[in-house]
Amino acid sequence: MNPGVAAAALAVVSVATAVIGFYGLRISRTTGDFFVASRTVRPWWNASAIGGEYLSAASFLGVAGLLLLSGTDALWFPVGYTAGYLMLLLFVAAPLRRSGAYTIPDFTEARLDSRAVRKVTSLVVVLVGWLYIVPQLHGAALTIRITTGLPSWVGSVAVVVVVCLTVVAGGMRSITFVQAFQYWLKLTALAVPILFIVFMLAGSGTPALAAPAENPTGLAPAGWYTNVSLLVALLFGTLGLPHVLVRFYTNPDGQSARRTTLIVLGLLSVFYLFPTAYGLVGRMFAPDLARSGQPDAMVLLLPRELIGGPAGDLLSALVVAGAFAAFLSTTSGLVVSLAGVISQDVLGAGVGGFRLAAVVSAVVPLGFALMTGSLALAGSVGLVFAFTASTVCPVLLLGIWWRGLTDTGAIAGMVTGGVLCGGAMIAGSLAGAASTPAWLAQPAAWSVPTAFAVMVLVSRATAGRVPKTLVRVMTRLHTPERPLATGR
Amino acid sequence: MTRVRVTAPATAAHPVTESREAAQESDVGQVFVRSLIRSQLRLALVVAGGFLVILGAFPLLLAAVPGLAETTIAGIPFDWILLGVGIYPVIGLSAWLYTRTAARNEARYRDLAGDP
């Protein structure tokens, strides 16, 4: 790959992101603007922005890489990511919007009337956010290294710098514009090269090098436990991702929150067709990419591999731009939501506190990313989903739908889920990928039900602690808002 | 710059008049509210359950019918088509059905509970 072309693509994406972000500075002035874009973002904008944030390094690079390695087994990832969003629509979208809270800890404090719950929730949310940012930075490091030959740390640092500038400048409002732009950029960046490749292959009638069912590296297929547990993690984990939930508050009301989610599902479904196509084409026409040791780079390398010449270079540059957009957008979304949490609970609310919190939210995971090597992107993101599914998801679901939840129960459940899942993740990384048993490698199938069970049992045991504001809060969460005078 | 305290404003998103709130929190009002919550929960569980059943049926179908997974349509093996493409319309349909029915439930609540 021509390093000059790649570097140019990366520079263009970074500059465009920063410019759009600064443009947001002229519009956002109040703290409300900073936190949740003053609840005036319309469904299509919002949906594009959610799609932009949600489609991270794992979706852009990791899914195709896993498909190359494991074939149809890996199709559970894109399906799980999208279906997780469906669960969000069904169980969380409208009530969360109606709660009026800015952040998840806001919601749990309002629902359970307890500052202790708020503190624990904030801690969990920050952990989840940092865990999710690290793979994005790894993805950026990989992209920089493969495409320009620069050292890996340049990629991670570049993402953090651009994100900090954009977030500090405009908070949520500018982020919305940026994210919406980046969804469409990512979609184009992925679609154009693969369509080119498919037409070229179909036209020239080149025979496939390998059958799609053949595993290029002879890896054993994942057992049913891993697939089921992964699906549990993805289905339940999406509900709890902080950068996803924070966008609900930017809708005018509950029904528009649902409509936005519906549009997001459409955008995600269309998007995931393309990594799937890359995976299939890669397995059939470029199986040696799997043996190169960096399957996640497959999307970046395939256009040049199969087309070659200046056209291949240009198409690869397009993909690289899209990949970088993915890291930038997800990281920005996470940093904004984390900054919201940290500044409200630790640094004192207000625009200055938010900016400082944003820098902290971005720099800490950078340190971690620089110290650790990259694991398979989609896999490590799968573990983050498992952690979220075991901590934030139970408190959200039970808080919204069950009257019996108490503050003690919520804390007990979150701590249990966090310790169990976190412990499994640490044990897995210490043991190494090869020697970790399946139940430890993907703990969601047992950590999620356990967290739920603990939350329910402890709440039952402390039934006297049900908040006095229960009736008012539940009514507000579930009843439709008064129709506005405009008659919408 | 003046310090702005950012908390969750209690009524910013939900400008409700006092009399409406009182009506909702009365015993009679709560009957309607609880019934709405129950319908919405039941709807969500049914849609989620139905979707998961279909999701589980796809791989089972591929495993049960010999040779189905390898049959190709336009050069693409059927298992890739089913799991890589076919599942998304199912998700979309479930979402669309849910959104419509949830809105209907809420409209019914509004008719029953009325606005004072």
CA distance A139 to A288: 21
Highest mean pLDDT out of A133-147, A289-303, A338-352, B85-99: B85-99
Report chain A residues whose CB lies below 8 A from the CB of B89: 269
Q: Both tokens of residue A449?
A: 């039900």
Query: How far are the Cα atoms of A126, A169, A267, A401, A438 from residue A224, in angstroms, in the given order?
Result: 32, 47, 29, 31, 10
Complete DSSP assignment for A253-310: SHHHHHHHHHHHHHHHHHHHHHHHHHHHHHHHH-THHHHTS-GGGHHHHHHHHHT-HH
Range scoring the smallest mean pLDDT among A177-181, A474-478, B93-97: A177-181
pLDDT in tens, A230-278: 999 999 998 888 777 777 767 778 888 888 888 999 999 999 999 998 8
Q: Cβ–Cβ of B95/A94 closer than 8 Å?
A: no
Mean predicted confidence (pLDDT) in A197-207 = 80
Write down the pTM of the prediction.
0.86
CA distance A197 to A255: 41
> Considering Cα of A394, then A45, then A40, then A265, what sign does the dihedral take?
negative
Q: Cβ–Cβ of B36/A106 closer than 8 Å?
A: no
Mean predicted confidence (pLDDT) in A363-382 = 76
Range scoring the smallest mean pLDDT among A89-98, A181-190, A367-376: A367-376
Report chain A residues whose CB lies below 8 A from the CB of B57: none
Give pLDDT, residue A485.
Answer: 42
Report chain A residues whose CB lies below 8 A from the CB of B44: 90-91
pLDDT band at A164 (very low <50, low <70, confident <90, very high): confident
Report chain A residues whose CB lies below 8 A from the CB of B28: none
Fill in the amino acid letter for A1: M
Q: Both tokens of residue A279?
A: 């995976």
Query: How far are the Cα atoms of A149, A312, A315 from residue A309, in angstroms, in the given order?
Result: 19, 5, 10
pLDDT band at A22 (very low <50, low <70, confident <90, very high): low
Residue A65 contacts residue A342 (beta carbons within 8 Å): no
Residue A253 contacts residue A481 (beta carbons within 8 Å): yes
| More reliable by pLDDT, A152 or B33 | B33
Other Cβ atoms within 10 Å of A43 Cβ, number: 18
Burial of A353 per CB tally in 10 Å (0-12, 13-18, 19+): buried
Q: Cβ–Cβ of B48/A91 closer than 8 Å?
A: yes
pLDDT in tens, A205-215: 777 777 777 77
Instruction: Evaluate if residue A486 carries a pLDDT over 50.
Output: no
CA distance A151 to A145: 6
Q: Cβ–Cβ of A262/B99 closer than 8 Å?
A: yes
What's the angle, vertex CA A211, arms to CA A208 and CA A213, rounded to 5?
Answer: 150
Instruction: Evaluate if residue A23 carries a pLDDT over 70.
Output: no
| More reliable by pLDDT, A471 or A372 | A471
Task: Report yes or no: B91 at the A interface, CB cutoff 8 Å.
Answer: yes
Task: Report yes or no: B112 at the A interface, CB cutoff 8 Å.
Answer: no
Q: Both tokens of residue A9?
A: 């693509």
The ipTM estimated for the assembled molecules is: 0.84
Q: Both tokens of residue A397?
A: 């679901």
pLDDT in tens, A429-460: 777 767 778 888 889 999 999 999 999 999 99
Q: Cβ–Cβ of A478/B40 closer than 8 Å?
A: yes
Residue A17 contacts residue A325 (beta carbons within 8 Å): yes
The percentage of chain A sitting over the pLDDT mark of 90, rounded to a whole number, equals 25
Give pLDDT, residue A458.
Answer: 96
CA distance A2 to A310: 9
pLDDT band at A69 (very low <50, low <70, confident <90, very high): confident
Task: Report yes or no: B57 at the A interface, CB cutoff 8 Å.
Answer: no
> A450-460 burial, b for 16+ CB within 10 Å, e for fewer?
bbbebbbebbe
Instruction: Evaluate if residue A328 carries a pLDDT over 50.
Output: yes
Residue of chain A nearest B22, judged by CA positions = A472
Report chain A residues whose CB lies below 8 A from the CB of B41: 401
* Residue B73: strand, helix, or coil: strand
pLDDT band at A175 (very low <50, low <70, confident <90, very high): low
Domains of chain A as residue ranges with CATH: 3-377 (1.20.1730.10)
Q: Cβ–Cβ of A212/B69 closer than 8 Å?
A: no
A vs B: CB pairs below 8 A: 143
